[in-house]
Amino acid sequence: MESFTPVSALIGGCLIGAAVGLLLWLNGRIAGISGVLGGLLQGKPGERAWRLAFLAGLVLGPLLYVAVVGEAKPLIVTNSLPLLIAGGLLVGFGTRLGNGCTSGHGVCGLARLSGRSLAATVSFFVTAALTVFIVRHLLGG
């Protein structure tokens, strides 16, 4: 593994844990990204400010990291744009179908010892592993 960075991973994990814990404690909300974005797009009254702040943090976090560390490793995407769009649409469909997204179930639901979130998270990982196997080894992608 050439990009193993345990310190930044630990700091990032602690920040994610703190953010979702504070959101639950202060707002009584689960920090599922698709739910936060979906609620913003649906225009729920009185919830626009915290949803915008949460999403802004997702964008500003990496910029703050670059400002502090001084560099970021480049992200090179080798897949085709149509494949990425199809994958994004399938993830969006899956989050609606599962009543939550990977962050909501995997981070928040598991921390609350939710059986439904455990089942959802296991299905996310199994589906991801099967997809990678099929695309890389059977389809040659």
Per-residue pLDDT at 131 exceeds 60:
yes
Q: How many domains does the chain have?
A: 2
Task: Give pLDDT tens digits for 29-75.
Answer: 888 888 888 888 887 778 888 889 989 988 898 888 889 888 877 77
What pTM, to 2 d.p., does this model score?
A: 0.72
Domain final residue, candidates 58, 76, 94: 76
Question: Is the pLDDT at 2 greater than 70, yes or no?
Answer: no
Task: Choose one of 61, 76, 91: the last residue of a domain.
Answer: 76
Q: Are residues 83 and 67 in the same domain?
A: no
Asked if 82 and 72 sit in the same domain, the reply is no
CA 98 to chain centre: 15
Do 3 and 66 belong to one domain?
yes
Domain that includes residue 54, residue range: 1-76
Compute the distance between CA of residue 107 and CA of residue 30 in angstroms, rounded to an integer. Answer: 9
Residues 10, 68, single domain; the answer is yes
pLDDT in tens, 90-126: 887 777 777 778 888 888 888 889 999 899 889 888 9
Q: Are residues 47 and 96 in the same domain?
A: no
Which of 76, 102, 120 is the C-terminal boundary of a domain?
76
Cα 2 off chain centre by? 23
Instruction: Output the pLDDT for position 52.
Output: 92
